[in-house]
Amino acid sequence: MAETRPGAASRIIRWIDHRLPFVAMLQHELYEYPTPRNLSYWWNFGSLAGIMLVVMIVTGIVLAMQYTPHADLAFDSVERIMRDVDYGWMLRYAHMNGASMFFAIVYIHLFRGLYYGSYKQPRELLWILGVIILILMIMTAFMGYVLPWGQMSYWAATVITNLFSAIPVVGQGIVTFLWGGFTVGNPTLNRFYALHYLLPFVILGVVLLHLIALHRFGSNNPLGIDMKGPQDTLPFHPYFTIKDLFGLTVFLLIYAFFVFYAPNFLGSADNYIPANPMQTPNHIVPEWYLLPYYAILRSVPNKLFGVILAFGSIFLMFLVPWLDTSPVRSARFRPIYKWVFWLLVIDVVALAWVGANPPEGLVVTVGQLATFYYFVHFLILFPLLGKVERPRPLPLSIATAVLQSGGAQLGRAGASMANR
């Protein structure tokens, strides 16, 4: 960019760049950056997640200019945004549905990692940073949901903060400390607001580390084999910038549909009732992206053990690079794990269904089975499969694998190759 612009502008840029190599860094990390040429559309979700983080921060800041973080005024301030602030309804719905989109994208991104072994050596730290981002997102989303101070806001806050009372001896003390009072109340709301504003910037920092870790060894790819030379790669720009932009427009279609035509589909009607500390809603349900953890929590009859397993289900993710013993990365070459992976996906959807429904009858049974399977999958199947499975032979290189399919994939303008 600098070289082709004539005169004073390019000289100024070169002067700055010599002292703070920002443009040179962009040039290397975003333009020339060698990317495996066989990436599929499952690799779009990382950049989508980054974009959603920016969207959430920008909509959040603008909403923060109009929101009042006081128990008596919060609900009304949100309604004021919806009714009286120009475009307020759009910003609110964008922020609300943006959270759901953000989680959907991150979950797909995570499962992509599980399928293709993106967490394996040398990308263990990349994976761990990702799990940290997920945990920070969950905390941010939970606190954000409290802010409108609806019935669900208040009671979800009560139930989830009460989880800490399961800790023996100090539990109740911790809960009182978290609340800043004897129940969820105005002090709780204020501190959640401060933290909800803060954490996204912490996430931003961890995302930066995540990208640095990524660029250390480059992206994984659907074959799971390392890039061996320039014949295996394409420069990020223009190939993957345009592919990411295309993926972005498709995603925006879905996002816009929710924002403009079904803005409350993913939410709970109860949250349009102002919080009433004297009356619990009939069914306390978290947002969909927290349902699996909620299901695990409720599946265990013992309170403390339920809390441990629910939190454990996420913290277990940290251990994935070491739980999986397979020498092969991509599930494409793992004939058994290829199917077992889908069992996990079905399991998580089942857990979400369990979490959405009152704990009676079939729901309880499914919940217990699904919780059991979840831990079996990671703690038993992961280590076992790696040892027992006979992986299919890996191709020699990315380029040879691509050429072997006749080059026809790439010849068709890369579309079907990208679709694998």
Active-site residues, by number, are 215, 219, 243-244, 287
| 135 lines the binding site for other proteins (CB under 8 A) | no
Name the segment binding other proteins (CB under 8 A); options: 128-136, 181-189, 298-306, 411-419: 411-419
Compute the least distance from the CB of residue 164 to other proteins, in Å.
28
- Chain positions 236 to 255 lying near other proteins, rule: CB under 8 A, are 237-239, 242-243, 245-246, 249-250, 252-253
Amino acid at 252: L
DSSP symbol at 420: -
Q: Which is nearer to other proteins, 212 or 345 (CB)?
A: 345
Whether the bond between 122 and the residue before it is cis, its omega within 30 degrees of 0, is: yes
Question: Helix-strand-coil percent breakdown of the chain, rounded to 5?
Answer: 70, 0, 25
Amino acid at 295: A
The secondary element (H helix, E strand) that includes residue 178 is helix 171-179
DSSP symbol at 27: I
| 410 lines the binding site for other proteins (CB under 8 A) | yes
Distance between alpha carbon 16 and the CA centroid of its chain, in Å?
Answer: 36
Distance between alpha carbon 362 and the CA centroid of its chain, in Å?
Answer: 30
Name the segment binding other proteins (CB under 8 A); options: 13-21, 157-165, 195-203, 408-416: 408-416
| 70 lines the binding site for other proteins (CB under 8 A) | no
Backbone angles phi, psi at 228, to 5 degrees: -110, -15
| 235 lines the binding site for other proteins (CB under 8 A) | yes
Contact assessment for residue 297 and residue 160, using Cβ atoms and an 8 Å cutoff: no
Cα–Cα distance, 154 to 271 (Å, whole number):
9
Compute the least distance from the CB of residue 238 to other proteins, in Å.
5
Q: Which is nearer to other proteins, 1 or 212 (CB)?
A: 1
| 24 lines the binding site for other proteins (CB under 8 A) | no
Name the segment binding other proteins (CB under 8 A); options: 185-193, 296-304, 374-382, 405-413: 405-413
Cα–Cα distance, 234 to 96 (Å, whole number):
37
Q: Which is nearer to other proteins, 292 or 306 (CB)?
A: 292
Contact assessment for residue 97 and residue 258, using Cβ atoms and an 8 Å cutoff: yes
Number of H helices, E strands in the chain: 19, 2
Q: Which is nearer to other proteins, 164 or 288 (CB)?
A: 288
Separation of first and last alpha carbons in the chain: 34
Q: Which is nearer to other proteins, 82 or 159 (CB)?
A: 82
| 338 lines the binding site for other proteins (CB under 8 A) | yes
Residue 368 is encoded by which pair of tokens?
A: 């217990």
| 314 lines the binding site for other proteins (CB under 8 A) | no
Compute the least distance from the CB of residue 60 to other proteins, in Å.
11
- Chain positions 277 to 296 lying near other proteins, rule: CB under 8 A, are 282-283, 288
Compute the least distance from the CB of residue 88 to other proteins, in Å.
6
Compute the least distance from the CB of residue 315 to other proteins, in Å.
24
- Chain positions 250 to 279 lying near other proteins, rule: CB under 8 A, are 250, 252-253, 256-257, 259-261, 263-266, 269-270, 272-274
Amino acid at 302: N
Q: Which is nearer to other proteins, 63 or 309 (CB)?
A: 63
Cα–Cα distance, 331 to 335 (Å, whole number):
7
- Rg of the chain over Cα atoms, rounded to whole angstroms, equals 24
Residue 380 is encoded by which pair of tokens?
A: 């038993």
Compute the least distance from the CB of residue 269 to other proteins, in Å.
5
- Chain positions 75 to 104 lying near other proteins, rule: CB under 8 A, are 76, 79-80, 82-91, 93
Q: Which is nearer to other proteins, 187 or 238 (CB)?
A: 238
Q: How many residues bind other proteins (CB under 8 A)?
A: 73
Compute the least distance from the CB of residue 4 to other proteins, in Å.
5
Q: 406: which residues sit within 8 A by CB, 6+ positions away?
A: none
Q: Which is nearer to other proteins, 213 or 381 (CB)?
A: 381
DSSP symbol at 74: H
- Chain positions 169 to 228 lying near other proteins, rule: CB under 8 A, are none
- Chain positions 344 to 383 lying near other proteins, rule: CB under 8 A, are 345-346, 349, 352-353, 356-358, 360, 362-363
Which whole-number Å values give the CA distances from 214 to 32, 33, 129, 159, in the listed order? 15, 11, 10, 37
